[in-house]
Chain A
Amino acid sequence: MRFVSFPLRNVVRRPARSLLTGLGAAAAIGAFVVLVGLTRGFERSWLDQVEAYGVDLLASQGGSLDVLSSTVPEHLGEELRRVPGVTAVGADMGHLVILEPGKAAVLAGLDAHNPVWKRLKLAAGVLPGPAQPDGVALGSGVAEALGKKLGDTIRIVGKDFPVVGILQPAARVQGNSIFMLLPTAQKLLGREGRVTAFSVRRDPRLSPEERAEVLARLTRAFPNLTFHQGEDPAASNEMLWAFRAIVASTSLVAILVAIVVILNTLLMSVVERTREIGVLRALGWGPARVLAAIVLEGLALASVGSLLGALGGFAALGALTSAPVVRSFVAPVLDARAVGEVVAVAVVVGVLGSLYPAWRALRMDPVEALRYE
Chain B
Amino acid sequence: MLSLRDVSRWYAKGQVAALAGVSLDVAPGECVAVVGPSGSGKSTLLHLLCGLDRPTSGRVFFDGLEPRSVGDWARLRATRVGFVFQAPNLLATLTAAENVEVPMFAAGIRRRERERRARELLGRVGLAHRARHRPSELSGGEQQRVAIARALANAPSVLLADEPTGNLDSVTAAAVLDLLLGLRAQDGMTLVVVTHDAGIAQRAERVIQILDGRVVRDSRGGPP
Contact = CB atoms under 8 A, between A and B. Distances in A.
Contact of B52 (A12, A275, A289, A367): A367
Interface of A: 1-3, 5-6, 9-10, 12-13, 275-276, 279-287, 289, 366-367, 370
Given A1-B114, A2-B111, A3-B105, A282 B93 contact: no
10 contacts: A13-B93, A276-B91, A279-B85, A282-B85, A284-B81, A284-B107, A285-B105, A285-B106, A286-B106, A366-B53
B68 to A, nearest CB: 15
Nearest to B101: A1
Given A1-B114, A289-B106, A281 B91 contact: no
Contact of B150 (A1, A5, A9, A283): A283
Contacts of A13: 92-93
Contacts of A12: 93
A10 B93 contact: yes
A141 B91 CA distance: 62
Sort A-B residue pairs by CB-CB distance and give the 6 closest, nearest first.
A284-B78, A9-B93, A284-B77, A284-B106, A286-B74, A283-B103
Contacts of B85: 279, 282, 370
B98 interface: yes
Contacts of A279: 85, 89, 91
B179 interface: no
B71 interface: yes
A276 B91 CA distance: 7
Contact residues on B (Cβ < 8 Å of other chain), bracket: 20 to 34
Contacts of B53: 366-367
A13 B93 CA distance: 7
A283 B91 contact: no
A286 B71 contact: yes
A285 B52 CA distance: 11
B79 interface: yes
Contacts of A284: 74-79, 81, 103, 106-107, 154
A281 B52 contact: yes
A22 to B, nearest CB: 18
Given A1-B114, A2-B111, A370-B85, A283 B93 contact: no
A50 B103 CA distance: 64
A2 B74 CA distance: 21
Contacts of B1: none
A283 B98 contact: no
Contacts of A1: 94, 97-98, 101, 111, 114-115
A289 B77 contact: no
A284 B102 CA distance: 9
B94 A9 contact: yes
Q: Which of A3, A284, A370 has the most CB of B within 10 A?
A: A284
A125 B115 CA distance: 77
A10 B94 CA distance: 10
A62 B114 CA distance: 74
